[in-house]
Amino acid sequence: MKKIFVLSAIALASFTTQADVRINGFANLIGGITTSDKSLYGYDDKISFSEESLFAIQVSGDINNKMTATAQLVARGQNDYDPDFEWAYMTYKATDNLSVSVGRLRLPLFNYSASKDVGYSYHWLNTPRSVYDVPFNNLDGIRFDYSNYTGDWEYNLSVSSGAFTGPAFGTEIKGDNVVLLSAEASYEWFKIRGVAGSAKTSLDMASSTSGSLIEATQGLALVNAFGFSNLVDSLQWNDDTGEFYGLSLQVDKFDWFISAEMTQIDVAESFIAKTDAYYVTAGLRIGAWTPSVTYEKSKSEFQDKFQPQIQQMLSTQFSAGQVAAFAATPIGSLVDMGVQAQTQGAFTLTTLPVTQSSPIITSAMNDFIVQGLLNSTVSENSVLSASLRYDYDTNIALKFDVTKYTNDLSNSDVTLVRFGVNYVF
């Protein structure tokens, strides 16, 4: 796959001698501040312009009458504006209806996937994070696109395959054997879109900078040391099948619009919780002004996974040596203190009969480590935003947004105020 990317980049560097070059660009200058000392989307109570701002250049050209090459260089404020080739691919137009693209390209996951970074193309300051904030937007691979008409309907079909990498949980997630199918149909002011995909995914937990995953990795090492490798293998995110599903509906009557998009992400064979997310947005177009409101919801529920392996662990009886080894660990020390408190100092883990100490130890492993990891990705959040867009001039839009984010599990919230300029050239 890296060879494909290199070949695409070489073609992009050399086609200037063979064809006219088209250069386009876009930029988002976005500032934001929270109304309290809480943080949201990287913003806090000090105004910042780096979290969502970016500048991008797209270069494309015809290699011949059938082939084009495209590259997109993006400099993001959150990365100190270090430029990165996020797209670099070649497209072969096989027929008037079918095209094939190879290289690093955008996965057609969402309604606004192709223009996700182009703030000028939509009414928000940025796409709804509850749905769009995934670590696998780009693909190193191949994509087939087919478009046609039937009656008054226009439809587009897409098949993508390849591999991806992206940041997640303070480390890197990798996906191989990606297969993604998407279909879209539109009729005048109505559009419907569906997508389904899967990949073999892995998360490098050992390299994570996330505090919860660091603790989980240490805990799993302890569980593994006591012989429960099957349970540890099940909990770890290693070469597990991940699934993605999405559906979107859009009604645009020009003077007003309403749309909704929903997704589901599941990696059933790992510790991660299944996540369901959606948003509903509606707005009006009044001359140069576009006021809108958006509601988002994201929910990752606890799933009672891997019960056979857990029950095997809970029914295990340890030897006296294993009990002593566990008592010497940090978790063992805490459990031992609990035993002494319950027995008023009469017993410790090592002085209890193994028939009594073993269930205490396995229950502690399950409660502190296994269930802790299974609960680590459980969340439920809702977001309500009010946005205003003003088309100041051709290709320039000014925007203002107030967002209230609520953690429905802790019943806490934070309000974010943002403003920005989106433009294309």
Say if residue 158 is in the same domain as residue 236: yes
pLDDT at 29: 98
Domain boundary among 357, 375, 393: 375
Say if residue 207 is in the same domain as residue 137: yes
Say if residue 343 is in the same domain as residue 234: no
Q: How many CB atoms lie within 10 A of CB 35?
A: 12
pLDDT at 2: 44
Say if residue 206 is in the same domain as residue 70: yes
Give the helix ranges, DSSP H, for 161-238. Answer: 211-225, 229-235
Give the residue carrying structure tokens 């969340």: 379
pLDDT at 212: 80
Number of domains in the chain: 2
Say if residue 14 is in the same domain as residue 97: yes
Say if residue 294 is in the same domain as residue 311: no
Would residue 42 be called left, alpha or beta, if left means φ above 0 and alpha means ψ between -120 and 50 degrees?
left
Say if residue 143 is in the same domain as residue 164: yes
Domain boundary among 375, 394, 410: 375
Say if residue 110 is in the same domain as residue 65: yes
Largest CA distance in the chain: 87
Report pLDDT digits (tens) over 73-97.
Answer: 999 999 999 999 999 999 999 999 9
pLDDT at 19: 57
Say if residue 329 is in the same domain as residue 180: no
Say if residue 101 is in the same domain as residue 216: yes
| Contact status, residue 178 vs residue 166, Cβ threshold 8 Å | no
Q: Whole-angstrom Cα distance, residue 109 to residue 133? A: 11
Domain boundary among 358, 375, 392: 375
pLDDT at 410: 94
pLDDT at 210: 86
Q: Whole-angstrom Cα distance, residue 326 to residue 390? A: 64
Report pLDDT digits (tens) over 274-300.
Answer: 999 999 999 999 999 999 999 999 999
One pLDDT digit (tens) per residue for the chain, 425 residues: 444 444 444 444 554 445 578 999 999 999 999 999 999 999 999 999 999 999 999 999 999 999 999 999 999 999 999 999 999 999 999 999 999 999 999 999 999 999 999 999 999 999 999 999 999 999 999 999 999 999 999 999 999 999 999 999 899 999 999 999 999 999 999 999 999 999 999 998 888 888 888 888 889 999 999 999 999 999 999 999 999 999 999 999 999 999 999 999 999 999 999 999 999 999 999 999 999 999 999 999 988 899 999 999 999 999 999 999 999 999 999 999 999 999 999 999 999 999 999 999 999 999 999 999 999 899 999 999 999 999 999 999 999 999 999 999 999 999 999 999 999 99
Say if residue 237 is in the same domain as residue 290: yes
Using alpha carbons, select from 308, 282, 306 the residue that is nearest to residue 293. Answer: 282
Q: How many CB atoms lie within 10 A of CB 353?
A: 10
Say if residue 262 is in the same domain as residue 396: yes
Q: What is the CATH number of the domain that holds 231?
A: 2.40.160.10
| Contact status, residue 357 vs residue 323, Cβ threshold 8 Å | yes
- Provide the domain limits for residue 64: 2-301+378-424
* CA separation, residue 155 to residues 158, 193, 364, 372 (Å): 10, 10, 55, 46
Q: 3-class SS at 28?
A: strand
pLDDT at 3: 45
